[in-house]
Amino acid sequence: MPDEELNDEIARLRAENERLRKEQAAGLRLRVSEKGAVSVYGLGRFPVTLYKEQWLRILDDSSAIREFIHENEGALKTKETKK
């Protein structure tokens, strides 16, 4: 591969890496999975993927989840996450 092509490829890869870093630092990202579910990226190493009715059920019960977390604060651990 000629030097000019290598330099172009390196520049392209650096730009792609920068784009991926910015995307990763942006917080939560949502995508539709191959099977038509909603995947949330940015919470941990792997995405959290549920079908829309599962997400809606969780969102409908969000106050109960928050209350449960508040009531069990002493038993729950906190994971440091990157922002």
Give me the pLDDT at residue 22, please. Answer: 76
pLDDT in tens, 10-48: 999 999 998 877 766 668 889 999 999 999 998 888 999
* Among candidate residues 35, 30, 38, 65, the one with its CA nearest the CA of residue 54: 38
DSSP symbol at 48: E
CA–CA separation, 36 and 50 (whole Å): 9
Whether the model pTM is above 0.75: no
pLDDT in tens, 47-67: 999 999 999 999 999 999 999
For residue 40, the SS3 value is strand
CA dihedral over 42, 46, 52, 57, signed as positive or negative: negative
